Chain A
Amino acid sequence: MNPRRNFLKASLSLGAMTATGGLSRLGLINAMTQPQGPYRALVCVFLYGGNDSNNLIVPLDPTVYGKYKSIRQGLALDNTTLLPYDKSKQFGLHPNFKELDAFSSQLAFVANVGTLTQPTTRDQFLKNTIAMPSNLFSHSDQQGEWQTGVVSGMSNTGWAGRLADHMGQNNPGSTYPMFVTVTGSTVQGLGNSTHPGAVSPGQPVGLQGFGKDAASLARLDALKTLVQQDTMKTDSGAVLLRQAANNMQNSLTDADTLNNALSSAKPLLTVFPNTNIGNQLLEVAKLIEARGALRMNRQIFFCALGGFDTHTNQLNDQGNLFAQLSAAMAAFYKATEEMNVADQVTTFTESDFARTLQPNSNGGTDHAWGSHHIVMGASVKGGKLYGTFPTIELNGPSDAGGEGRWIPTTSVDQYGATLAQWFGLPASQLSLVFPNIANFKSTDVGFFG
């Protein structure tokens, strides 16, 4: 399938429908012919529960490590086990990231990212002199703020959904959603004019149980008609019925498209670990492999790994999760190499929040704020920590209180804007996706160089 030929066909038929013709038709075609550039995909891995990133990357400088160790006590990682990560050997990676460490030049870390309305100091926070994000330290609210890119007030669309709204012209001729979750629904993918796709890893796509016989065809036709009827109901009690029926209509259309595309996609040779996150990233790889048949030039994926709410037993629980994450992300990176898109796919983490540097009295840590994150891909200028590492000190300049809750120094908006611009969103449109971005001086954290 030649995507360009289809795009031309689509734009011509659209053009033919424009009665005024002339300049306005040309304008339409111009809009459709925005430089698309090569294929690009963003892959989000959300670490649900609030990942304690204080133990994701640990300072190796003896003085700073000493401070870390004296505050962390029993939860401190042994500096001889850390994987020296960056070129200047300032930071070590949690020892369970050994598979990922092999790709360290395609791996960047961003320090102390979090929800902010504007740059915020400890003094401003303690004196409550500027606006703060809503409901800090609450899981559901902080997940929501990370995913919507709106930290106060409300949003029922996510930043990736709005990104899909504004990048839609990059998938000409495709009806399949730009955003697909492989782990259940998320507000991150809800757009104003686009809807999210959803695929369950390892499950067959589309309705099961229909043959080619007349009875089957009649039954399938009836199902579709019933759904159609439900979308048209107007009585005051039918709001949710219509909503569910609309979703079913999209489901049926998108499943047909996807089934056709997957049937022509090449099987992958890369072996993924048989874990939940491994299977999700395998599904993402399959959807990337199907990009040509789906006529996608831009895709956004959402995966998640849960269990990071480590109020107890943190060393063990987080260690296990990191081991799963490392193996799955490494396999995914290899798969992007196999598909020759390693420099066209960028994978990044998000999480509710980080956790207190000071441990609690039973082997865990409590809810905090700014956290360190992983960005992976061959376009990433890896081997480096971006952003500003917090001052490791209780009641210090980075602390929101006295337990080591870091006030973020890079906002979710800035982190997302960096990814969105690489994805192709013009700087002039950033505020459509990140409404608060103007409150921050820089819109590029720099990890793409």
Chain B
Amino acid sequence: MVHYGYTTVRTGSFMNIARHRNWTQPLCFILSAILAAGQGSAAITIPKPTAFAASRFLQQAAFGPDAKSLADVQAMGFSAWIDAQFALDSTKWSPIPDPSKDAKGNTQLRNVQDSFFLNAVNGQDQLRQRVAFALGQIWVVSNVKLQPETMVPYLRLLQKDAFSTYDQIMLDVTLSPAMGHYLDMVNNNKPTPGHGANENYAREILQLFTVGLVELDNSARPKKDNKGNPIPAYDQDMVEGFANAFTGWTYAPLPGANSRWTNPTNWDAPMVPFDAHHDTDKGKKLLGGYELPANQTAVIDLHLALNNIFNNANVGPFVCRQLIQRLVTSNPSDAYVSRIVSVFNSKPRGDMKAVVRAILLDSEARKGDDGSENTASKLQEPVLWTSALLRGLGASIVSPNSMTDYASRMGQTIYRPPTVFNYFLPGYDTKLANNQIYNAPEFQLLSESTAISAADFVNVVSFGRVNGVTIDWTPYTNILGAKPGTTELNKMLDALDRALPGALSPAARTVILNACLKATTPLNIAKTAVYLIGSSWDFQVER
């Protein structure tokens, strides 16, 4: 096999996983530095969060606030609520035992999608599901290639591992039959004359799941060489080295069957090694100049290769910045990222509980809980935002439901991202009106048509009916009474402000109030208010 170096990364392109520019960066940096210095610690602990602070926190740690979680967080405080969430088991998928099958036993992705919304809206293990969802946007698989019955064990795996350690996630996903099939690690034979090993999993585990394209410092900014250019984190030789190290795995034998190369599909057990199909030649180059010794088993080579990746200094910044983006803000400051990376790098390395807690309790995440100006902000992606709307309104949801249809029109079909590059790239920048750019992954889904689809969803929620979703309007009509005046209207808006936080600046309140006064019945007043608050960009953009 001919080896040749691809050491040709000159500068990051606009889509690099790492972010390069952020015009507010100096300000963010200064603010967080001052905060960090003043506190002596990065975390601000507020003993009893206000309703506003709690609802803001639940946009980050849950699928938005509902009445119960709002009360829990206010009663327990952030830290105790996080502990309680760590202790909860995964919500069981419904229908049991196999959510991918409908009543007639037919396999349907739709059942899995419906269950996602059911659990997002109703599940008590909100934090676990939110983190599992975030992990699923890094370790992406998709129904574009996978069958529904393949997806479910994988989704369970992510939920089980959400609060484990990052190396556990790496091992479990690498050997999962779903990822094995999705990125071709399964049945990847050792190189034979005229055929190289399949490079797909090797390339993407490096580029997308662990280290990224270029060497990063602890704030996830690219390191530069002496000419000012980014430094590639690996080269084509290493992609081939890992591809060869990962050869020789097939599906687990079905219960009672003899194992052979290759086994038929089995989605319920980790893949198994076949040393006769594993590459034992010398020369498998890994990261940092390490080379795997010749003549080792598939198991040993796989563990050494994964360890080699896990211990690379890029993993902390590469993963932590993305987890911050998924949970809290599109544009974390360098200092915020560094603080989380140092938690990731502490022992035990890659401890997800410690990392998640640090992300949510960081000063930069909590600044703004008192209503003050803050820079942590992100556009809620469609499946989060649609779920948050239902939770805020106390909607009841069943499976089947048609939530997937609406999120799809906004560009996000749950469990069916177009490629392993997810629905959007962590490094996606939006170009502002002044032609400056700003890191904002979710904006990759926002277009002229998806923006209008978002308002149309709220229209159906308010004035129509989403299949499988029921909204009880009486809490609002009760506040309004038979002949509501401005006092009653304001009381209803106060209630909605807790449920759907962010939208009611004084100026907005006046506009919404005036529109409500034109509605003909108390019910239509409530619906008008929900439409205008729910569709507002103040509610769709967290800050």
Contact = CB atoms under 8 A, between A and B. Distances in A.
Contacts of B515: 218-219, 221-222
A150 B11 CA distance: 11
B411 A137 contact: no
Nearest to B507: A229
Interface in A145-163: 145, 148, 150, 152-157
B184 A227 contact: no
B540 interface: yes
A255 B448 contact: yes
B188 A251 contact: no
A367 B11 CA distance: 20
Interface in A233-281: 235-248, 250-252, 254-255
A401 B1 CA distance: 10
B432 interface: yes
Contacts of B379: 240, 244
A364 B459 CA distance: 46
Contacts of A73: 194-195
B11 A153 contact: yes
Interface string B435-451: 10110100111111111
A156 B448 contact: no
Contacts of A196: 447-448
B200 interface: yes
Interface centre among A187, A192, A358, A395 (most CB of B within 10 A): A187
Contacts of A21: none
A192 B236 CA distance: 35
Interface string B358-389: 00000000001000011111110000000000
A197 B24 contact: no
A185 B444 contact: yes
B199 interface: yes
A181 interface: yes
A312 B192 CA distance: 16
A343 interface: no
A429 interface: no
Contacts of B184: 311-312, 362, 364
A190 interface: yes
Contacts of A144: 13-15
B508 A134 contact: no
B355 interface: no
Nearest to A142: B13
Given A136-B8, A244-B541, A254-B448, A361 B418 contact: no
A52 interface: no
B464 interface: yes
A150 B536 CA distance: 36
A219 B456 contact: no
Nearest to A395: B2
Given A157-B431, A222-B514, A241 B543 contact: yes
Interface in A300-319: 306-307, 309, 311-312
B212 to A, nearest CB: 10
A181 B411 CA distance: 13
Given A246-B433, A366-B199, A236 B446 contact: no
A105 B468 CA distance: 53
B198 interface: yes
Interface stretch (A12-20, A198-206, A408-416): A198-206
Interface centre among B190, B207, B247, B425 (most CB of A within 10 A): B207
A219 B531 contact: yes
Contacts of B24: 236, 239
Given A135-B9, A358-B195, A215 B519 contact: yes
Interface string A178-189: 000100110100
B528 interface: yes
A29 interface: no
A230 B377 CA distance: 14
A173 B186 CA distance: 58
Interface centre among A73, A181, A208, A366 (most CB of B within 10 A): A366
A223 interface: yes
A364 B531 CA distance: 50
B377 A140 contact: no
B10 A134 contact: yes
Contact of B418 (A48, A141, A156, A401): A48
A430 B191 CA distance: 46
A445 B411 CA distance: 36
Interface string B198-240: 1110010001000001000000000000000000000010000
Contact of A155 (B14, B196, B540): B14
Contacts of A168: none
Interface string B299-318: 00000000000000000000
A397 interface: no
A403 interface: yes
Contact of A226 (B191, B508, B543): B508
A214 B378 CA distance: 35
Interface string B12-46: 11111100100010010000000000000000000
Contacts of B418: 48, 306
* B interface, over-half SS: loop
A207 interface: yes
Contacts of A229: 505, 507-508, 511
A245 B541 CA distance: 10
A128 B7 contact: yes
A197 B449 CA distance: 8
Contacts of B183: 311
B378 A240 contact: yes
Contacts of B16: 135, 141
Contacts of B27: 236
B10 A131 contact: yes
Contacts of A49: 419
B324 to A, nearest CB: 15
B532 A219 contact: yes
Contact of B196 (A157, A197, A361): A361
A356 B199 CA distance: 11
B196 A358 contact: yes
Nearest to B199: A366
A350 to B, nearest CB: 15
Contact of A128 (B8, B13, B447, B452): B8
A240 B236 contact: no
B13 A306 contact: no
Contact of A148 (B7, B14, B196, B432): B14
Contacts of A219: 515, 518-519, 528, 531-532
A128 B17 CA distance: 24
A26 interface: no
A155 B13 CA distance: 7
A235 B440 CA distance: 18
B453 interface: yes
B81 interface: no
Contact of B528 (A128, A197, A215, A401): A215
B512 A237 contact: no
Contacts of B443: 185, 240, 243-244
Interface of A: 48-49, 71, 73, 126, 128, 131-141, 143-145, 148, 150, 152-157, 181, 184-185, 187, 190, 192, 196-200, 203, 205-209, 214-215, 217-219, 221-223, 225-227, 229-230, 235-248, 250-252, 254-255, 306-307, 309, 311-312, 356, 358-362, 364, 366-367, 395, 400-403
Given A242-B433, A360-B198, A401-B236, 11 more contacts: A48-B418, A134-B13, A137-B236, A139-B419, A140-B425, A154-B20, A185-B447, A219-B532, A229-B505, A236-B374, A361-B247
Kindly list the 4 A-B residue pairs having the minimum CB-CB distance in the complex, ordered from nearest.
Answer: A402-B2, A198-B447, A132-B8, A222-B515
6 contacts: A209-B464, A218-B515, A219-B518, A237-B375, A237-B376, A401-B236
Interface of B: 1-2, 4-17, 20, 24, 27, 144, 183-184, 187-192, 194-200, 203, 207, 213, 236, 247, 330, 368, 373-379, 409, 411, 418-419, 421, 425, 429-433, 435, 437-438, 440, 443-453, 455-456, 459-460, 463-464, 505, 507-508, 511-512, 514-515, 518-520, 524, 528, 531-532, 535-538, 540-541, 543
